[in-house]
Amino acid sequence: MKVAWAGSRHAVEVGDRMARLVASDPVFRKDNRTMISRKELFKDTLRKAAHAWKRISELRLTEEEASLLRQYVDQPGYVDLHWGMFVPAIKGQGTEEQQKKWLPLAYRFQIIGCYAQTELGHGSNVQGLETTATFDPKTDEFVIHSPTLTSSKWWPGGLGKASTHAVVYARLITEGKDYGIHGFIVQLRSLEDHSPLPGITLGDIGGKFGSGAYNSMDNGVLRFDHVRIPRDQMLMRLSQVTREGKYVHSDVPKQLLYGTMVFVRQTIVADASKALSRAVCIAVRYSAIRKQFGSQDGGPETQVLNYRTQQSRLFPLLASAYAFRFVGDWLKWLYTDVTQKLEAKDYSTLQEAHACTAGLKAVTTSATADAIEECRKLCGGHGYLNSSGLPELFAVYVPACTYEGDNVVLLLQVARILMKAVSQLTSGKQPVGTMAYMGKVQYLMQCKCAVNAAEDWLNPVAIQEAFEARALRMVVNCAQNIGQAANQEEGFYERSPDLLEAAVAHIQLIIVTKFIEKVQQDIPGHGVKEQLQNLCNVYALYILHKHLGDFLATGCITPKQGALANELLGKLYAQVRPNAVALVDAFNYTDHYLGSVLGRYDGNVYPALYEEAWKDPLNETVVPEGYHEYLRPLLKQQLKLSRL
């Protein structure tokens, strides 16, 4: 099962080696992270980043090994944005000359970069950004300026204290004309003493949700006061400004930017499966250890994991972790496919790829954030302790629902593409990729589910057809309602809540389909395929049960068939139960990476909880600070009362 989760024996071996390398190094300790001040936490992040780079260099790690080592350090910091956004931006939008100049500096950490797009007043609406980059032909320079308070760059990770450079997104103005948003490489700090350069005001935006968590990241604020940069620091792969100030497009198609977008969103979906699997691992292991009620005549209490209520809440989340993992693996293939087609100037699948990646980012991150909180509740009161690992995991993960595209905004983008695909069906244009099912519109609009017994839902054809019919009927219904509006845009606005649900239905179909395709492959290991099949059925039928109203309202299934699906779910939970712990052990997480006393591999939970409590700084003294000033006067009735 470890191989099925990781993807290959090589991936298991490399991941295990890097995880243990991090876990055995005292510099990467993180058990005190929620107890130290923000200043101490940030300094600790700098120390870990420097030490990680030192170890990567000393051991001459490969790019794959280095990436895994940084993952297992498990502390958000400037390095994430340097490698995850700054470098890809230059790769995707810079010319060959610009890449030759800037990438070697970034690869050797001679400069540290961030991605300065979001502003105080604009996030998702990129076209509304206010920062300006005005070309001055007299000096052959761009003048970067923040004309308003709301034009201040706000939120970029690594900007607050660490970054020396940024890819800054601003409105390009030349010859008096605004050409929209473009990227510029701007130096922010001195490479000698790290002080801000003239005309630049920057700092950290302040503490964020939770203890530890994302507070290790220096999310920043940045303002420009007519800062000048050379013309060649505009990222010019797609367009450029000549020495004379003429704006010209290059012969490189702008569609190439889609490749970077697919890559970033694929990474986010993969991260969703990692975060969800960590939470589920903690909850499953602790539910196997914890015993409550059920004792008769002095007999043993019942393992919490044996309660059907616990299983019905927890096992769908376990199945979701695997579902997100496999759809994330498929997205890696999609990235390669899109890249190859772009190089061949084939743009036929771009709209579908955009809808797919945007929707999967939205659905998986929202589901994961909700699932982590559910896992906390599944662990009872102890789940609320920082030492459980779940509060910090939740706090560090929830920003994923907003960064790289607000989830509601992304789903509405998906809905627009779905509306366009439906409108083209009558013209004979066949949908491609994950939208190909729409080509069966006549059949799916009138088909009836053939399920007669609970076990009929084990047939993947029945499951997939029900999900296809639900998605298509919801999309067509929205299109018909919008078509009745006097104005199409007004109709879209009025139907936006319905459009969100239709987009979610489409994305859930993709996840179910890719899970089904995965379990139909040859999977090595005794009993592995059978367990994955169980999880696939749990995921699909759980989604069906959760969104039963959609399936019934669109006439995809009958109430009786919905009841049969729920009946089968109970049987599937019973089949998952004996292997639940093994299924989370397959994630192969070290105790260090998991960061939870409740999810310890050895199950020695209660002694660990007791020991962990005494590490809190509040327990450094037996008598609390403030006793003599406040508690003793109160207890001795010696409080000095003011005369009114």
Mean pLDDT by 10 residues, the chain (644 residues): 93 96 96 94 97 96 96 96 94 94 97 96 88 97 97 96 97 96 97 97 96 94 98 95 94 74 88 97 97 79 94 98 96 87 82 89 98 98 96 96 92 95 86 92 95 97 97 96 90 94 98 97 91 98 97 96 96 96 97 96 96 94 94 87 72
Which residues belong to the annotated binding site for FAD? 118, 157
Which residues belong to the annotated binding site? 118, 157
β-pairing, 113-116 with 165-174? parallel
Q: Which residues pair with 221 in a beta bridge?
A: 154, 203
Domain ranges of the chain: 1-75, 83-252, 257-434+458-583
Active site residues: 404
User: What is the reported pLDDT for 295?
Assistant: 67
User: What is the reported pLDDT for 139?
Assistant: 97
Distance of CA 528 to the CA centre of its chain: 27
β-pairing, 165-174 with 177-187? antiparallel
> 257-434+458-583: what fold?
Butyryl-CoA Dehydrogenase, subunit A; domain 3 (1.20.140)
Contact assessment for residue 95 and residue 237, using Cβ atoms and an 8 Å cutoff: yes
Distance CA 409, CA 403 (A): 11
E strands, 175-312, are 177-187, 200-204, 220-224, 227-230, 239-241, 247-249, 291-292, 302-303
Of 1.10.1370.40, 3.10.450.50, 1.10.540.10, 1.20.1730.10, the CATH number of 1-75 is: 1.10.540.10
> 83-252: what fold?
Butyryl-CoA Dehydrogenase, subunit A; domain 2 (2.40.110)
User: What is the reported pLDDT for 26?
Assistant: 96
Contact assessment for residue 156 and residue 117, using Cβ atoms and an 8 Å cutoff: yes
User: What is the reported pLDDT for 639?
Assistant: 77
User: What is the reported pLDDT for 429?
Assistant: 82
Q: Which residues pair with 165 in a beta bridge?
A: 113, 187
Distance CA 359, CA 270 (A): 14
User: What is the reported pLDDT for 315?
Assistant: 98
User: What is the reported pLDDT for 644?
Assistant: 66
Determine which helix (DSSP H) or strand (DSSP E) holds 135, and give its type and residue range.
strand 132-136
Closest CA to 248 of 238, 257, 258: 238
Distance CA 395, CA 388 (A): 13
Token digits of residue 157: 């990770």
Query: Residue 526: phi, psi to the nearest 5?
Result: -65, 125
- Cα distances (Å, whole numbers) of residue 588 to 6, 17, 20, 481, 539: 9, 11, 11, 49, 22
Distance CA 434, CA 503 (A): 13
Distance of CA 557 to the CA centre of its chain: 33
Closest CA to 196 of 208, 188, 184, 207: 188
Determine which helix (DSSP H) or strand (DSSP E) holds 56, and give its type and residue range.
helix 38-58
Distance CA 468, CA 198 (A): 58
- Cα distances (Å, whole numbers) of residue 42 to 518, 594, 596: 42, 21, 22
Token digits of residue 182: 């473009």
Under DSSP, is residue 354 helix (H, G, I), strand (E, B) or coil?
A: helix
Distance CA 32, CA 46 (A): 16
